[in-house]
Chains A and B, each alone.
Chain A
């Protein structure tokens, strides 16, 4: 290729700059609220509602302490009768004329989110992988109709089926259980998972499995040894999408969980109700809530990028 021809294919400098500017603007728009939440988590309640808003402030861990504890307000006489505080967070709470009554429910709710989020992601991807392989490789009767049916479960808004599911779960005893929420999120996610993964399986030439089967492997062994390793990109990308959905889901969680299996999304707003608007506690809860998805995404970012641009770019 001549130098001239090469230059013709190179994007012009201004298009590159335009693209960069667009990305920066978009990043600012999406990052500013997250940055604001992160900052609010380290403000005192007074700073968090001051007007004009403070961009520079003295950091405080009060939000985090409030997130993880329940506190009771005490009389000055009682406060004076107490022995000196043993820890820094005792001291912090007492400076507000309160004492720590015990741990809050946040840890528990967060654990529920982890169990239900990762549990449903595992099952969505597991079932999705098997179904996608079957749809890709075998002659399934009514294949196209079945695939459409699977996809159609995603077409209605969750609220449309909320009441039937609520009644069904109450009868089955699945309300407010981890198992119930895992089943529900798996059911919702498996459609996404089947469709995404089918695309990935379709791209893996059948010759690989055929070669393995001729070499003395059964179909399942060939799938496990040859197809699965080549699907890791697709599986990682699909897992992230499933996790993000299950992690952020609010409507079903609000409706179907109240105690033992309540996840973090319906819990975080309830912090607001405890003794006034405790924005730093809400913000610190939100910050911690963001972390698992953030880490999971960073961990799988290479696969995710290849997964999203899948089909558009050939290796």
Chain B
């Protein structure tokens, strides 16, 4: 297991294009689980491919365990990659798929060792009864488990995973999320993981990196990214419902920093007052989610969303009064203002 370090890595696919990855530096410590988050085209996958060696960096350096691997071929970097899809060889059985990395010329293992490792991984992923099947005869969830198994069967320095759970249904995704976290804990693996699912990011990561147009805009613990975002862009990436962005003087709140152009109010910053203080608003719509309810509110022409109890007595059209409690302040350029 080991540490991954990127130093000023930049990649353009064509010389004229804007950079797919732009001067990204980050350090993922040994045994860490870093999730790269961002919308499509932000450079998440490219970053992963650069670490894997599937793309060559135009500038900057990549280290795995203090070894400069920037110029190395994928096969010698000692990493493994779980693709979003198409990761199983359709002409091979599940067993041969799992054994494939162990039979490579670079890492050839004895037959008994291959069998031992494949069996162990198959048990870990609860697919030992599927080993003789063709890869194409599996369900989506089984396929993805085999794909993850192919990564686990070796003990590489770094695991790279590109939205490995995105093609699965919600139940399986939740299951495999736990599974992955457990495996990571058991193996002490170093994982660099790409997703656009914020639940995956929040629940699995020890570090989250938020990317925007190739740039790493913030890198920190899930708690930091959620509670202490550097910009509106980062704040919008996490939190359900999404953070409310409001004009400064819409709702009364305690301390507003000078220069604030917009207020970012997560649901926990919104307080529904019963004592007549605050500004009046109206409940437009209530979404009952079972364990909680989303209140869609309107205050002076602005739409915002708040959380309420599952059994909230409020009805659609009801009048409420709102105040803010320690919201986030953003400058006119979208950057976070801190006291």
Tell which of A205, A207, A230 has the most Cβ of chain B within 10 Å: A207
Contact of B90 among A214, A225, A230 (CB under 8 A): A230
Q: Is B74 an interface residue (CB 8 A)?
A: yes
Q: Within 8 Å of chain A (Cβ to Cβ): is B104?
A: yes
Q: Is A217 touching B105 in the complex (CB atoms < 8 A)?
A: yes
Q: In the complex, what's the smallest C-beta–C-beta distance from B171 to chain A, in angstroms?
A: 24
Q: Is A226 an interface residue (CB 8 A)?
A: yes
Interface string of B90-122 (1 = CB under 8 A from A): 110000000011001111000000000000000
Contacting B107 at CB < 8 Å: which of A207, A216, A229?
A: A216
* Complex contacts, A250 vs chain B, CB 8 Å: none
Q: A207-B86, A208-B86 are in contact. Are A214 and B91 (CB under 8 A)?
A: no
Task: Report yes or no: B89 in contact with A214, Cβ–Cβ below 8 A.
Answer: no
**In the complex, A257 Cα to B317 Cα: how many Å?**
94
Contact indicator A216/B89 (Cβ below 8 Å): no
Check A205–B86 contact: CB distance below 8 A. Answer: yes
| Docked-complex contact A214 and B105, CB < 8 angstroms | no
Evaluate whether A221 and B105 lie within 8 angstroms (CB atoms) in the complex, with A210-B74, A214-B80, A216-B75 already known.
yes
User: Chain B contacts of A229 at CB under 8 A?
Assistant: 89, 91
Give min CB distance, A214 to chain B, whole Å.
Answer: 5
CA distance A284 to B77 in the complex (A): 64
Residues of A within 8 A of B242 (CB): none
Contact mask for chain B residues 140-155; partner A; CB cutoff 8 A; 1 contact, 0 none: 0000000000100010
Q: Is the CB of A215 within 8 A of B80?
A: yes
How far, in Å, is B47 (CB) from chain A's closest CB?
15
Chain A neighbourhood of B53, CB < 8 A: 214
- Tell me if A's interface is mostly helix, strand, loop or mixed: helix
Instruction: Report the tally of A-B residue pairs with Cβ distances under 8 A.
Output: 60
Do residues B105 and A216 form an inter-chain contact, with CB atoms below 8 A? yes
Assess whether A215 is in contact with B54, with CB atoms less than 8 Å apart.
no
Number of A residues with CB within 8 Å of any CB on chain B:
17
- Is residue A22 contacting chain B, with contact meaning CB distance below 8 A? no
The answer to the question of A260 belonging to the interface, with a C-beta cut-off of 8 Å to chain B, is no
Q: Which residues of A contact B77 (CB under 8 A)?
A: 214
For B107, list chain A residues within 8 Å (CB). Answer: 215-216
A213/B73 in contact, CB under 8 A:
yes
Known: A221-B105, A229-B91, A230-B91. A214 touches B74 (CB 8 A): yes
Given known pairs A205-B86, A208-B86, A210-B54, the reply for A218 and B81 (CB within 8 Å) is: no
CB of A100 closer than 8 Å to a CB of B: no
Give CA–CA (A205, B81) in the complex, Å. Answer: 15
Q: Is the CB of A215 within 8 A of B91?
A: no
Residues of chain A lying within 8 A (CB to CB) of residue B83: 207, 210-211
Partner of B81, one of A211, A221, A225, A230: A211
Interfacial chain B residues near A230, Cβ < 8 Å: 90-91
**Known: A210-B54, A221-B105. Contact between A215 and B75, CB under 8 A?**
yes
- 0/1 string, A171-200, CB within 8 A of B gives 1: 000000000000000000000000000000
The CA-CA distance from A211 to B148 in the complex, in Å, is 12
Q: Which residues of A are found within 8 Å of B184, using beta-carbon distances?
A: none
CB distance from A230 to the nearest CB of B (A): 6
Q: Which residue of A lies closest to B100 (CB)?
A: A215
**Which residues of A lie under 8 Å from residue B85 when comparing CB positions?**
207
In the bound complex, residues from chain A placing their C-beta under 8 Å from that of B42 are: none
Chain A, range 204-247, C-beta contacts under 8 Å to B: 205, 207-208, 210-218, 221, 225-226, 229-230
CA distance A218 to B104 in the complex (A): 9
A215–B87 contact, CB under 8 A? Answer: no
Q: CA of A216 to CA of B150 in the docked complex: distance in angstroms?
A: 13
Write the B67-88 contact mask toward A (1 if CB under 8 angstroms, else 0).
0000001110101110101110
Nearest first, the 4 A-B pairs at minimum CB distance are A216-B104, A216-B106, A215-B101, A205-B86
Can you list 17 contacts pairing A with B, beta carbon distance less than 8 Å?
Answer: A207-B85, A207-B86, A207-B87, A208-B89, A210-B83, A211-B81, A211-B87, A211-B150, A212-B104, A213-B73, A214-B79, A214-B80, A215-B100, A215-B150, A216-B106, A229-B89, A229-B91
Q: Which residues of A contact B (CB under 8 A)?
A: 205, 207-208, 210-218, 221, 225-226, 229-230
